[in-house]
Copies of this chain bind each other. A is one copy, B any other.
């Protein structure tokens, strides 16, 4: 699991890659579409996509001639879960609120 965190955090440490994720939050996109906003070569974008895919942040599809990418949320949740362990340090009401929510959420999901 430590390895997975390494890879995910590392993938997220690049602004180009985060921008690609943000784009994919609007739905799947081809490599060409993802490359368009940047002044980088196509191979550079392909490399970034490979890094994102190896981190499990995106997946590749197959559609006619192109290989559209889609967001893979699980890896992002891994990060969210990791950072949530520190939430009490910035959110003083965390403990009270967290207890409360676990009950509330149970009801909500019925």
In the bound complex, what is the Cα–Cα distance between A84 and B100 (angstroms)? 20
CB closest residue in chain B, given A96: B108
Give chain A's interface residue range (CB within 8 Å of chain B). 35 or more
* Chain A interface helix/strand/loop/mixed: helix
Give residues 64-108 of A contacting B (CB, 8 Å).
Answer: 71, 73-74, 76-77, 79-80, 83-87, 89-91, 93, 96-97, 100-101, 104-105, 108
* Interface membership of A41, Cβ < 8 A: no
**Across the interface, do B89 and A100 meet the contact criterion of CB distance under 8 Å?**
no
CB closest residue in chain B, given A17: B9
In the bound complex, what is the Cα–Cα distance between A26 and B31 (angstroms)? 45
**Across the interface, do B80 and A83 meet the contact criterion of CB distance under 8 Å?**
yes
